Amino acid sequence: MPVGYYVVLIMIKRTIFAFGICMVIFTCVSFPTFAQQKISLLNGKVLNVESYSIGEMFVNYKLSGDSPKKLRLVDKYDVFSVINVENKEEVLYKPADSLDFTIDQARIYLEGERAATKHFDKSGSSISSVYVGAASGVFGFYSIPLPFIYSMALGRKNPKQLPDEFKSYENNEAFRLGFNREARSIKFKQSLKFGYVSLGISLTMLVFLTK
């Protein structure tokens, strides 16, 4: 066979060998990046942390980029579970009595809260609050508490139904409780924000028109 054939064959073998070495290095270096530790809170939020330690009363943790001296704390009783670098979960939640959720029920409750955070349609409360805030402006100084009162009333109402993708949970009490609690909180915050923004604009226009 021609000499050129052997040269090409050697080059191919070296390329494959170098590629294999690179893949091994990439896997070893990159793996810790994906081994994200997590703290799952009972309010449905998940903290992606760089490290954590569990104390008697608090869970101490650090976020990526924190200085070595910076210490963050979360009450241990506000934590459902933690996930370590090996992706193993340690559940910290413990039912206080027979009236509390079981661990499985609490897990479903948290799923309901997260589902509401991602999928609850908050546009209706925002639009209605804009109208209420704008209309309240005609009362001048006395209009200040009106958006808050409206937000409180709006935040007491549960959603009439779950989004279509969660219809299978329609009769699951734990999921509905979690979804409804978070949805009410979202409605209150949205209503408060848009109500007072609208009221501020309304009062500003009223001042200019009465000059």
The three state secondary structure string of 28-88 is: HHHHHHHCCEEEEECCCCEEEECEEEECCCEEEEECCCCCCCCCEEEEHHHEEEEECCCCC
Both 77 and 90 in a single domain?
Answer: yes
Looking at the fold, whether 109 and 141 belong to one and the same domain comes out as yes
Q: Could you tell me the two tokens for 83? A: 């996930």
Same domain, 137 and 201: yes
Which residue numbers in the chain have pLDDT < 50? 1-20, 22-34
CATH at 46: 2.30.30
- How far, in Å, CA of 88 to CA of 49, rounded? 14
pTM, rounded to two decimals = 0.72
Residues 16 and 79 both lie in one domain = no
For position 10, what pLDDT does the model report? 47
Please check whether residues 201 and 148 belong to one and the same domain: yes
Last residue of a domain, one of 52, 71, 94: 94
Instruction: Based on the fold, state whether residues 51 and 132 are members of the same structural domain.
Output: no
Q: Is 79 found in the same domain as 122?
A: no
Quick one: pLDDT at residue 149? Answer: 94
Residues 178 and 113 in one domain: yes
The boundaries of the domain holding residue 148 are 103-210
For residue 45, CA distances in Å to 96, 136, 145 come to 22, 35, 30
CB contact at 8 A, 148 and 79: no
Residues 6 or more apart whose CB falls under 8 angstroms from that of 121 comprise 163
Question: Does residue 70 share a domain with residue 6?
Answer: no
Q: So what's the pLDDT on residue 35?
A: 54
Q: Total domain count for the chain?
A: 3
Using a CB cutoff of 8 Å and minimum separation of 24, what contacts does 33-37 make? 35/85, 35/86, 35/87, 37/82, 37/83, 37/84, 37/85
Q: Looking at residue 150, what is its pLDDT?
A: 93
Q: Same domain, yes or no, for 88 and 153? A: no
Tell whether 80 and 141 lie within a shared domain.
no
Indicate whether 120 and 181 sit together in one domain.
Answer: yes
